Amino acid sequence: MSVLVYAENWEGKFRKSTFEVVSYASQLAKSINSEVHAITFGNILEEELIKIGDYGAVKVYNYNKINKSNNQAIAKIFTEYQNFSVFIFSNSFASRSITPILSIKIGSSYVSNVVSLLDFNNKTVRKQSFSSKAFELVKINTEKVILSISSNAFGLIENKVNCNIELLDTELIGNLNIESQEKSRGKISLSEADIIVSAGRGMKGPENWHLIESLASEIGAATACSKPVSDSGWRPHSEHVGQTGKAVSPNLYIAIGISGAIQHLAGVNSSKVMVVINTDPDAPFFKAADYGIIGDAFEVVPKLIEAIKNFKN
């Protein structure tokens, strides 16, 4: 009953979410005295590959000729690992394009948005449901199981071991033609971010977002927005968080000029700490927040940027 983890990389580099799922897999394996192996796709330097070992995986299989966008081909590769019974993925778009396909191929259960370790005795696991408004305890009825782990639900657990690398040059073309990619460069991705600075209609217009961006860069955060902000084209759709946008769970979520509608909260209320800046003392967001400032964003945000600069010195 070994644990196999998908170690996703982005142009040859692993990100925090990968190390997080490897950490999760190692914790699981430890609970059943077993070991963790990892699979990754594309060209990756050896010095990067062995980092997987820092979080407890003893072996990594690197398929350098398979395009990680080809979800069906990747699912097929995983089926070659029949002696594994637990498969761990992140909650990324790429992972979630593979997991349901794989579950049919290997006859397993599939649980997404997982927030607890798998309980091997009871075969249960906890997941987020109702858009983070609730948790659900799920019972697994099959021998094999695939889990997608909610980001930031576990954090990193270092556990250095020697990681053996096995290079495989299998070629497989899937049933998708990948035409082109457009990357949003140089930005921290929302699903990965430890800190998110998010803003709403209270910012009045896109021309004022430089305030949000300076605060974000000062504090090392990703930027997000409420739905009406992306609907009006002030910000790209990929920044929209909430029940119908992205669900995020950073350590710190700073909401500026966002009223805190239930649909917005649904996507952000699993953040560890929430700060709200709003002119309206009755804004519903204050009920969900840990720290609040009643005030005008155009006054408070510049002061906050200053305060963070001073703090860093």
Give the residue, chosen from 23, 27, 85, 92, that forms a contact with other proteins under the rule CB under 8 A: 92
Question: Residue 58 binds which entry of other proteins, ligand FAD, none, with Cβ cut-offs from 5 to 8 Å by kind?
Answer: none
CA atoms within 13 A on the CB side of 4: 21
Task: Report d(CA 193, CA 272) in Å as an integer.
Answer: 12
Subset of 25-54 contacting other proteins (CB under 8 A): none
Question: Residue 283 binds which entry of other proteins, ligand FAD, none, with Cβ cut-offs from 5 to 8 Å by kind?
Answer: ligand FAD
Q: Is 243 in the site for ligand FAD (CB under 6 A)?
A: yes
Question: Residue 208 binds which entry of other proteins, ligand FAD, none, with Cβ cut-offs from 5 to 8 Å by kind?
Answer: none
Give the residue, chosen from 143, 280, 290, 306, that forms a contact with ligand FAD under the rule CB under 6 A: 280
Task: Report d(CA 61, CA 52) in Å as an integer.
Answer: 11
Q: Is 259 in the site for ligand FAD (CB under 6 A)?
A: yes
Structure tokens belonging to residue 146:
């695939």
Determine how many CB atoms are found less than 10 A away from the CB of residue 20.
22
Q: Is 241 in the site for other proteins (CB under 8 A)?
A: no
Q: Is 308 in the site for other proteins (CB under 8 A)?
A: yes
Question: Residue 213 binds which entry of ligand FAD, other proteins, none, with Cβ cut-offs from 5 to 8 Å by kind?
Answer: none
The dihedral sign for the CA sequence 105, 109, 113, 117:
negative
DSSP string, 25-87: HHHHHHHTT--EEEEEES---HHHHGGGGGGTEEEEEEETTS-TT-HHHHHHHHHT-TTEEEE
Question: Residue 34 binds which entry of ligand FAD, other proteins, none, with Cβ cut-offs from 5 to 8 Å by kind?
Answer: none
- Gyration radius from the chain CA atoms: 21
Nearest residue to ligand FAD, using CB? 242
Residue 222: exposure state from Cβ atoms within 10 A (0-12, 13-18, ≥19): buried
Q: Is 226 in the site for ligand FAD (CB under 6 A)?
A: yes
Question: Residue 264 binds which entry of ligand FAD, other proteins, none, with Cβ cut-offs from 5 to 8 Å by kind?
Answer: ligand FAD
Closest to 4 measured CA to CA, from 37, 35, 32: 37
Q: Is 147 in the site for other proteins (CB under 8 A)?
A: no
Binding residues vs ligand FAD (CB under 6 A): 200-202, 226-229, 242-245, 257-259, 261, 263-264, 267, 277-280, 283, 296-298
